[in-house]
Every structure is written in structure tokens, then in C-alpha cells.
Amino acid sequence: MKKKNSSILTIFFTVFIDLLGLGIVIPILPALIINPTANLLPFDTAFSQRTIIYGFLIASYPIMQFFGAPLLGTLADRFGRKKILSISLLGTWAGYVLFIIGILTQDIYLLFIGRSIDGFTGGNISIAQSAISDISTPENKSRNFGLVGMAFGLGFVIGPYIGGKLSDPTVVSWFSFETPFYLALLLTTINILLVYAMFPETLKEKSTRKIDLLAGFKNLGKAASHPQMRSIFIIVFLLTIGFNFFTQFFQVFLISKFAFTQSQIGDLFAYMGLWIAVAQGAFLRPLSKKFSPQTILSLSVILLAVTFPLLLLPDKSIWIYVIIPFIAVFQGLTQPNTTAIVSGLSDAKSQGEILGMNQSVASLAQAIPPILAGFLTAVNINLPTLFAAGSTLLAWFVFIFFFKQKKEALVVAPEEV
């Protein structure tokens, strides 16, 4: 029990730090690229060019994660969760260092390299999910994934807030765009030490699967052809596309329509992250006792889809704060239940492979929206949010009408009080 508790604590902190880093860039990257006064790009760079560059910079992380995550998943199945998790955290550390240097020297190529290295070694979440599966029972799996989801939400609370405030010289005169990343670098160092000192190996039976650098592409082929997993992977793909159209380009909408600063963007996304944490930390557990993941998803996904377009209606930014909690709660219920279903469809030996496959699908889905949205935003700033709604609605349609395989076997038993 003591080992399980220390494992869960370390996993919680690892996911929190990972999402803290992702959260920090939310308000900073659009301010660096879209705002001409940041001086990272030539002042006369057109808005359409800026949105396209911003989109590719955002996409560099998930594109490299597409290649790196399945490789790390296989290595974690062969050599253990602890060793590979440590390697992935070292990559995150190196990525932060290069990103800081890129900001200080106003070298956009170093920003791309830093994000790419962090992305390639950023299999932290898939390894953490494998470790959670190692130590979970069918009765508490949904709850444990909910705790990981809560760490995800907390990272989204603190990350954007830190990114917005610590990069704003009007808060403290010596704050700058690189200041939040110094903190992230320090926390990643602590995380590496924590994994070394407190994280026990959770892998019970090692795999003999060969390492394959093209595993990302092969994972997509497996995901498309797997008879039991095909439909859920399509759902994961569409849901991830939808939510990332929103999270990756809504900042540009806020800057263009309401003239938000990076500090205000950080506040809004921290507010959203708070509601995600509430959903996964407070709502998910009692709901998972009474309802299966399938039942929860059948409602949360459609509600998420119809809420996205409401963000485009207000003329005053205060109404955005009214709508955001609904999006956060519906997403907070959707993500961990989707992961629980994916995990429930795999056996103990293939947890790393299946979750790595899931990460490949998600990474590809994370890479598509920013590239497309960069061009779409140049046409109309409302289009990314509308695409978010459309992709999420399509995911719900596939879930309702095509996800039929062995539903009865996938129902997570209610946890005993």
C-alpha cells in the first residue's frame, strides 16, 4: 500500500509538471508570435504569416511526440516505467533550457528545437497512465485515472496563470517571457529527483517487443485495423482534434476580438483549468460510482460540442467567463473516461503498447489543428472554434452509433464506499 501511494503521488506530480509546462506556453506563445511588439519576428510580419508560424510552432511538440511516445511506451514495457520516465523528464528539462535561450536571443529556430525535443521525449503522460494501470484494479481504475486528470487540470490552472503573470513586466518590473520557464525548469529538476527517490517500479512483467522508430505510423495502422480498438481510437482522434482547435487558437481569438494580454489569457485558461480539476476531482468520482464511462461519455461529449459555438456570441469578454466552466466540466468528464475505456480494452502485458498507440493517435490529432487553424484564422478568427464544435460532434456520433464492441465487458464496476 505504501508503494502504491508513493507511486500515485509521483505520477500525480509528474503529470502536474508536464501539464504545467504545457500550460505555461498557452499565454506566452501567442504573445511572442502574434504581438508585433514582442520583436521575435520582424515588426512588419503580416497577421496571416504570424498565425501560420504560430500554428507550426504549436504543432512541433505533438508532431515529435507522435514519434517519441510509442518508442517510450515500448521501452517502458521492456525496461520498466521508472527508467524511461526519468529519460523523458530529462528531455523536458533540455527542452526548457533551449526554449529559454531562444527567447533570450530572439531565435525562433531555438524555440522550435526546444519544443521538438520536449515533444519527442514527452511521453510522460503515457508512461504515467501505464503505471496507473499497473497498480489499479477494475474497481478503482476510473478513480485513479481521475486523479491523473485532476493533476492535468491543476497543471492547467497554475501553468497559464504562471505563464501570464511571470511574463508580465507590469506585475514585476524584471518579469519577462522567459521567467516562467525558469520556474518550470526548477520544478522539472525536483520531479527528476522525486522519481529517482520515491517512485518504485510498477511493471510486473516485462515485454520482449522490439524497438521500432516507425512505431508511430505502425500504431496508426494498428489502431485503424484493431477490431476492438478501432472505433474508440477514432473517437479519441476526433475528440482530441476538437479540443485542440479550441485550446491552441482561442488565445488568438481573444487577442483579436478583445485585445487580451498574456496575463489576461493566463487568467482565463487558469480559470478553465480550475473547473477541469473540479470536474475530475469532485464530480468524476461520485459519477463513476453510479454510471459507466460509456454512459458519462454519451452525455458529456454532445454537451461539449454544443457549448463551443456559444463562445463566439458575446460582445463583452465577461460572458466568456460564464461559458468556460461548462466547457471545462464536460471536457473534465470526457477525457479520463475515454482513457479508462482504452485501458480497459487492453491486457496487463500490452498496457504500454495500447496506451502508446493511444498517444500516437492523440499526438497526430494534436498536430493537425494548429497547422490548419493557422490558415483558417487568417480567413476568419471564428473558424477554429467552429471546427472544434464540428469535430467533437462527429466524435459523439461515432461513439453512439459505432462503439458497440463488448460494452458490457467494459463497464467499470462501482467502487465500494
Between 417 and 206, the higher pLDDT residue: 206
Q: Choose among 352, 374, 304, 322: nearest CA to 55.
A: 374
Would the pLDDT of 5 be above 50? yes
Tell me the pLDDT of the chain averaged across its residues: 83
Given this model, what pLDDT does residue 352 score? Answer: 61
Given this model, what pLDDT does residue 301 score? Answer: 95
Q: How far is CA 10 from the centre of its chain?
A: 18
**186-215 mean pLDDT:** 77
Interacting residues of 123 by C-beta distance below 8 A, sequence separation 6+: 65, 68, 69, 71, 72, 73, 76, 84, 88, 356, 359
Given this model, what pLDDT does residue 96 score? Answer: 93
Going by pLDDT thresholds of 50, 70 and 90, the confidence category of residue 345 is confident
Q: Which residue type sits at 180?
A: P
Given this model, what pLDDT does residue 416 score? Answer: 34
Given this model, what pLDDT does residue 206 score? Answer: 65
pLDDT digits (tens, 9 = 90+) for 290-304: 888 888 999 999 999
Q: Which residue type sits at 386?
A: L
Would the pLDDT of 316 be above 90? yes
Q: Choose among 158, 163, 178, 135: nearest CA to 17.
A: 158
Query: How many residues would you count in the chain?
Result: 417
Given this model, what pLDDT does residue 408 score? Answer: 41
Going by pLDDT thresholds of 50, 70 and 90, the confidence category of residue 80 is confident
Distance CA 188, CA 206 (A): 27
Going by pLDDT thresholds of 50, 70 and 90, the confidence category of residue 205 is low
Give φ, ψ of 243 to 5 degrees: -70, -30
Interacting residues of 380 by C-beta distance below 8 A, sequence separation 6+: none
Q: CATH for 2-199+213-410, among 1.10.150.20, 3.40.50.720, 1.20.1250.20, 1.25.40.10?
A: 1.20.1250.20
Is 67:216 a contact under the CB 8 Å cutoff?
yes
Domain ranges of the chain: 2-199+213-410
Among the residue ranges 6-20, 174-188, 201-215, the one predicted with the least confidence is 201-215
pLDDT digits (tens, 9 = 90+) for 351-407: 666 766 777 788 789 889 999 999 999 899 999 999 999 999 999 999 998 876 444
Given this model, what pLDDT does residue 410 score? Answer: 44
Is 190:54 a contact under the CB 8 Å cutoff?
no
**229-241 mean pLDDT:** 89
pLDDT digits (tens, 9 = 90+) for 319-342: 999 999 999 999 989 988 887 787
In the chain, what percentage of residues exceed pLDDT 90? 39
Cell of 379: 480567413
**236-250 mean pLDDT:** 93
Given this model, what pLDDT does residue 384 score? Answer: 95
Given this model, what pLDDT does residue 145 score? Answer: 72
Among the residue ranges 88-92, 188-192, 286-290, 402-406, the one predicted with the least confidence is 402-406
Would the pLDDT of 1 be above 70? no
Distance CA 413, CA 148 (A): 19
Would the pLDDT of 14 be above 60? yes
